[in-house]
Amino acid sequence: MHLSITRWQFVAWSAGIILTLPLIFLVFESLIPDPDVFDHLWNTVLWDYTYNTFVLIFGVLALSSLIALPLGWLIAYCDFPGKKQFEWALMLPLAMPTYIIAYVYTDLLDYAGPVQIWLRNTFNWQNPSDYWFFDIRTLPGAIVMIALVLYPYLYLIFKTALREQSFKLVQASQLMGYSARQSFFKVSLPLARGSIVAALALIAMEAMADFATVNYFAVSTLTTAVYDTWLGYYSLTAAAKISGIMLLFVFMFLSIEHFSRRNRVVHERGGVNNDAMLYKLSKYNGLLSTLFCCLVLLFAFFIPVSILVSYAVSYFDQAWNSEFFIYAWQSLKLAAIVSFICVALSLFVVFNQRLSTKSIDLIPGRMASMGYALPGTVLAIAVLLPLSLLDGAVNQFVGLFMEEPGLIFSGTLVAITLAYVVRFYAISQGTIEASFTRISPSLDMASRSMGKTPEQTLLKIHFPLLRRGMLTAALLIFIECMKELPAALLLRPFDFETLATHVFQYVSDEQLELASISALFIVLVGLLPLYFITSSMESAKFEEELTNE
């Protein structure tokens, strides 16, 4: 038995180290002294940037919670008109890249956009001083844009957690005379706390790593500072230093996340889910819920999509390109591979955490999750650092016997794949870890006392129970991969184009109109797994009831 535990540890630690290598190289880079640039930034703009970053992160967290928590609860526990459709439709905004939604809303709400022009014509206002209209290209604007596409994380994870909670607890709270609101705050929220914090940590990291939106909105954050120092001052070292500060934040988020989960003693047994809803909403409240869902969907999905469609129609001749299908296929393949690798690795890592009694085994998962908050381009360079060394070594060695093979790691899709895995591993780690904690350790003990090996326990006991968590993780990662831009842009080999990189060449020139069709493709291809996985989660529900019996 001792041997098999070592095997788990070996895999988990190898995964942890490989995924952290790029970051380690980056940290080494940051140790090279480069006081000039860093001091200059410190004395001028760095504090503004840090402040903006904090406001951005906490703004996005607050707004996503305001949107996602009520939605999750309504969908999990209540019945109202259109609920079945909303349940999956509320995930749609996730398929919308932030750089596209930001672009579309700027076009719409800018001073020169149709909304303000209409207002001016209607009320006969002449110039900006005649009236007040919020400016979309601001920090609050960026918060709204990012929250609109990130809230589905929290919604999905919270909803899943509520479903996995025992309904009996909520029913008991009802019997004790709790109102719906009391029960939400006193029972559902505290019980789902671990999942909520896990989702918020993901959202915080994603918001911190965002470059496209804040750059487009001319909001300077730490990410901006990283790019300025690297591409403006040509100092990768100073850029690595600022990335280091950001990584510290991430470590903080992850520790908070872990801490919040550690305090939980209760492992829920999993509820028997049935279609009988816990709360009957009054007709008025039911309609209100429907309206709320509609509004969220309208702003986060249908308005941007319909604008994209209108671009696509009026610019069809210039925007159509028969190579879309190739781009779509390449994006899809890459996304599928990355999702698979992430989920498989986190299974190993999380299972090792579970088997081990030592807290040192928590390290691989924590380490490997840190890449999520790195801005894509910086991550891309960080990935190149070890890969190009490796390539150099391989070429030198092989070169002794035959022709040098060239860049077999950094020059192929290995580089993009590694970058994506490093970036999105945190999603699967967070989701699967959260699912794992919901499985009572007594199940492990029972299985082991019946003479099953850890492998058998994983396959026969945990695997089926984790299915939903794994699917959720795979879905989230898949969609993120479809949208991910900077790493693909910088690391891709010749002849490899994803939908996102194709869109970017036009967006970078503020000509989204010309890329509207491929932008729609990104959304559509993202919708496929969304539909597939939502429906398979429905069927997974039934099996879970059986396992819970």
Dump the DSSP string for 247-311: HHHHHHHHHHHHHHHHT--PPP------SS-SEEPPHHHHHHHHHHHHHHHIIIIIHHHHHHHHH
**Of 74, 490, 520, 537, which one interacts with another protein (CB under 8 A)?**
490
> Does residue 406 come out as left (phi exceeding 0), alpha (psi in the -120 to 50 range) or beta?
left
Q: Segment 297-316, which members bind another protein (CB under 8 A)?
A: 314
Dump the DSSP string for 501-521: HHHHHHHTTT-GGGGHHHHHH
Alpha-carbon distance of 40 to 459, in angstroms, equals 55
Q: Can residue 484 be called a binding residue for another protein (CB under 8 A)?
A: no
Residue 41 or 74 having the CB closest to another protein? 41
The piece of 53-61, 153-161, 182-190, 376-384 that touches another protein (CB under 8 A) is 376-384
In the three-class reduction of DSSP (H, G, I as helix; E, B as strand; rest coil), residue 78 is classed as strand
Residue 412 or 548 having the CB closest to another protein? 412
Q: How far is the CB of 387 from another protein (least distance, A)?
A: 8
Q: Can residue 429 be called a binding residue for another protein (CB under 8 A)?
A: no
**Of 121, 122, 126, 322, which one interacts with another protein (CB under 8 A)?**
126
Alpha-carbon distance of 344 to 332, in angstroms, equals 18
**Of 29, 164, 257, 391, which one interacts with another protein (CB under 8 A)?**
391
Q: Can residue 140 be called a binding residue for another protein (CB under 8 A)?
A: no
Sign of the torsion angle spanned by Cα atoms 467, 469, 472, 476 = negative
Q: Can residue 496 be called a binding residue for another protein (CB under 8 A)?
A: yes
Binding pattern for the stretch 441-470 against another protein, x by CB under 8 A and - elsewhere: ------------------x-----------
Alpha-carbon distance of 245 to 243, in angstroms, equals 5
**Of 154, 413, 477, 517, which one interacts with another protein (CB under 8 A)?**
413
Residue 70 or 411 having the CB closest to another protein? 411
The piece of 298-306, 388-396, 446-454, 473-481 that touches another protein (CB under 8 A) is 388-396
**Of 82, 114, 190, 406, which one interacts with another protein (CB under 8 A)?**
406
Based on the number of CB atoms within 10 Å of its own CB, is 33 exposed (0-12), middle (13-18) or buried (19 or more)?
exposed
Q: How far is the CB of 378 from another protein (least distance, A)?
A: 9
What is the number of other CB atoms lying within 10 angstroms of the CB of residue 504?
20
Q: Can residue 493 be called a binding residue for another protein (CB under 8 A)?
A: yes
The residues facing 280 across adjacent strands are 79
Alpha-carbon distance of 424 to 427, in angstroms, equals 6
Q: Can residue 47 be called a binding residue for another protein (CB under 8 A)?
A: no
Q: Can residue 323 be called a binding residue for another protein (CB under 8 A)?
A: no
Task: Indicate the DSSP class of residue 462.
Answer: I
The residues facing 79 across adjacent strands are 280
Binding site for another protein (CB under 8 A): 40-41, 44-45, 48, 111-112, 117, 126-128, 135, 137, 217-218, 220, 227-228, 230-234, 236, 314, 333-334, 337, 340-341, 344, 377, 380-381, 384-385, 388, 391-392, 395, 404, 406-408, 410-414, 417, 459, 486, 489-496, 501, 505-506, 508-510, 513-514
